[in-house]
Structure 1
Amino acid sequence: MSTVQYRTIAFNGKFFGAAPTGVHRVAEQLIAATDALIAKQTGSGVDYALVVRNRIAVPPYRNILCVRENPLARRMHRIAWEQCYLPMARRKDFILNLCNLGPLLHRDSATMIHDAQVYSAPDSYSPGFRLWYKFLFFFIGRRHRIIFTVSEFSKGELVRYGIASAEKITVIHNGCDHVLLVQPDARPLAALNLESKRYVLALANTQKHKNIAVLLNAFSGPELRDVALVLFGAATKADFEVLGHVVPPNVRFAGRVSDPELAGLMSHAGALAFPSLTEGFGLPPLEAMALGCPVLAAPLGALPEVCGDAALYADPFDPQAWSLKIRTVLDDEALREALIAEGRRHAAAFTWERAARELLEAVNAANR
């Protein structure tokens, strides 16, 4: 790796302490993998820091210094902290922002924009959220030195919506090997009265582009009446019903689950269903593959790029197609075993070490 001109590369740690999201998971894993890689670098002359708000708990890194904010900034709103305090406090450093947003005032930055869904799936977000993200994306895409994203599909979307030029964007696929370090906890199976390999797992998410409605419709039909659909995540039955969805009786809500609990649910599921109309990446399908769970997905967004030939695909607008594919995966043991073997092989190529290496190489190349 080439030596960079900055004394310090600083990670924007605003996301630590916030409610967990998939984007935050990616940032945590990238920082942890970078921490492990730093020890292998020799003679770079560069320090690495994680800048966080005061009193926020962070993992114990060995090679990345945790820098806490000046006490005077304690009362700042999170947005003001990121847009005002961070660029002033780290004005001589190169700032890495891994959660879509970063300080507009700091040109020597790289920002990872995971998707362009505020443009492509506007109904999934509030008007205020869309306006704020579009405003920041417009300037981040033009001012920051590098724009990272997580798939070739997302890169195309960022170019399509005018967020950044293609030559400025670097694609870094997520890893999924973190799930192999988790000890699966099978207790949710007993709590939800589930039979191993005879239930389907999916997200409990009411955003329109997640398209869980097609699964609710599929599981209301006679073909899947004896199969449970287990939805994990924050959304409840009432959340779906208030939006006009009919939730059939064979749908069970696991609620928010821990990493071990999710690993347990994936390890014992008959399949993971992922019918999204668009995705910047789609990490749960790869996590499921790594744990030996067959995946059914919609052939849209980045899902074909990420899942390749290791998943079965179904028309996202046809509940009957999902019923047929789910029934086939549950009942055809030869197909099921083939999907599990191909899924494990496919997922093994997506590692956080590779992602972190590509991240540092791109930063170093931009700062020669």
Structure 2
Amino acid sequence: MRPLHGSDARVPVDVGVSLMTMVAGGMGGSETYARALVAGLARRDDVALRAATPENVAVEGAVSVRGIVARPSTIGRLRAIASSVLLGRRVRAALADAAVIHYPFTVAAPRARRNQATVITVHDVQHKELPRLFSPLERLFRVFAYDRPARRADLVITISEFAKAGIVRHLGVDTARVQVVPLGVDTSSYQPNLGERAAFVLYPARGWPHKNHVRLVEAIELLRRDRPGLRLVLTGGDLERLGDFPDWVDVRGLVSGEELRRLYQDASVLAFPSLYEGFGLPPLEAMASGCPVAASNAGSIPEVCGTAAVYFDPHDPVDIARGIGDAIDQTKELQRAGLAHVASLTWDRCVDGHVEAYRKVVSGRALGS
């Protein structure tokens, strides 16, 4: 295969995308990313796309592989990986002739053919930086399913400079083999409300430990001393694991995209108290909806939100309360800043970065590098 450069830049690059551990509705922002990526690649005339999913997952532009079923939990993902290996011939047939295979969920299942370059997305290395939040089984799973594939890949894509620094530091991947491609937001899907807003704080996040729900509830309780009508609305899966909440907390669980967009339009503020994020899409979706953002100063969040949010210390409920109150008081300023900020963070730009990465590894293979 000859390198693609110069006048060859528009020659379609053959791309295969393996989504064999995808769990519909159960992966948060990484699922949003994978769906937007595949849809964006399918629309391009400089990409010849082949994408494969488990038989129980539907993705526009992808084929479902019979016999492979992905379920939530570490055991469920292990079964999907095992099935992908045992039925690897079916998956490879779906991805046949691809010059590069991309694994958006890190897990390289099944392994690409020798003549195919590999690109792996690593969203973060939270299991290395906050190991106490993971069970021994999950940490072991990530050693084999995340760390080793990342070290072996021709190129690693990640979603922020913060995440890249962790990958280089903890996994020992050469910095030249890690390419940062920020995620995007489809602003056409969000209608900004610049008028009156309802008296509730919104937090859309699964009930994972690093999402920090307990301290957020403590912070809202403090805020209610001066703002007694203020409520908290929680959306996302696994919230039942957090136990009971006060009666002023509305636990919605998993909601439709349409309902979440309405909540963004109505909320007084989006609170984002996460202790760790490789990127974090909800603040950008809120900004696109005209919703002020109060966010943690941890992880990649300041990098992603820039000057369009009020920041707080996520370990301190008093400071979380202060940040949320300040964001409500600065609604108009934050609305203007947020809409300007998200205008440049598009999925088209994200897809452009991926196509650049694919061409880079294909050219490298052709040159024997």
Cα 1:75–1:284 shift into 2, 3 Å: closer
1:98 matched to 2:104? The reply is: yes
Matches within 5 A, 1:29-68: 29-36=36-43, 38-39=44-45, 41=46, 47-54=48-55, 56-59=57-60, 61=61, 66-68=62-64
Instruction: For residues 116-163 of structure 1, give each alpha carbon's deviation from its aligned partner in whole angstroms, at most 9, with x where no partner exists.
Output: 011112233322122111222232122111110000000001111125
Matches within 5 A, 1:256-295: 256-295=254-293
CA distance in 1, matches of 2:228, 2:136: 38
Moved more, 164-173 or 98-107: 98-107
Listed as ranges, the gaps of 5+ residues in structure 2 are: 71-78, 364-369
Counterpart of 1:180 in structure 2 is 188
Aligned length: 337
CA distance in 1, matches of 2:323, 2:350: 33
Instruction: For residues 301-349 of structure 1, give each alpha carbon's deviation from its aligned partner in whole angstroms, at most 9, with x where no partner exists.
Output: 000100000000011122122222322333x3xx210100100100111
1:229–1:250 Cα contact (<8 Å) kept: yes
Instruction: For residues 200-219 of structure 1, give each alpha carbon's deviation from its aligned partner in whole angstroms, at most 9, with x where no partner exists.
Output: 00135332221122211112
1:228 matched to 2:226? The reply is: no
Secondary structure of the residue aligned to 1:223 is coil
Residue identity matched to 1:116: V
Counterpart of 1:135 in structure 2 is 144
Counterpart of 1:356 in structure 2 is 351
CA distance in 1, matches of 2:277, 2:59: 28
Moved more, 79-88 or 164-173: 79-88
Q: Which of 356, 362, 365 is the equivalent residue of 1:367? A: 362
1:30–1:356 Cα contact (<8 Å) kept: yes
**C-alpha displacement of 1:56:** 4.5
Counterpart of 2:154 in structure 1 is 145
Residue identity matched to 1:124: L
Counterpart of 1:315 in structure 2 is 313
Counterpart of 2:75 in structure 1 is none
Counterpart of 1:10 in structure 2 is 16
CA distance in 1, matches of 2:54, 2:245: 41
1:182–1:260 Cα contact (<8 Å) kept: no
Moved more, 248-257 or 201-210: 201-210
Secondary structure of the residue aligned to 1:313 is strand
CA distance in 1, matches of 2:203, 2:169: 30
Q: Normalising by the residue count of structure 1, what TM-score does the alignment of the two structures yield? A: 0.83
Over aligned residues, Cα RMSD in angstroms?
2.8
1:219–1:225 Cα contact (<8 Å) kept: no
Q: Normalising by the residue count of structure 2, what TM-score does the alignment of the two structures yield? A: 0.83
Secondary structure of the residue aligned to 1:266 is helix
CA distance in 2, matches of 1:163, 1:258: 40
CA distance in 1, matches of 2:336, 2:127: 36
Moved more, 266-275 or 97-106: 97-106
Q: Which of 340, 344, 363 is the equivalent residue of 2:339? A: 344
1:219–1:229 Cα contact (<8 Å) kept: yes
Counterpart of 1:190 in structure 2 is none
CA distance in 2, matches of 1:35, 1:112: 19
Cα 1:10–1:198 shift into 2, 3 Å: same
CA distance in 1, matches of 2:362, 2:107: 21
**C-alpha displacement of 1:102:** 1.5
Cα 1:7–1:265 shift into 2, 3 Å: closer
Moved more, 213-222 or 287-296: 213-222
Cα 1:23–1:271 shift into 2, 3 Å: same
Moved more, 47-56 or 313-322: 47-56
Residue identity matched to 1:300: A
Identity of aligned residues (%): 32
Moved more, 295-304 or 14-23: 14-23
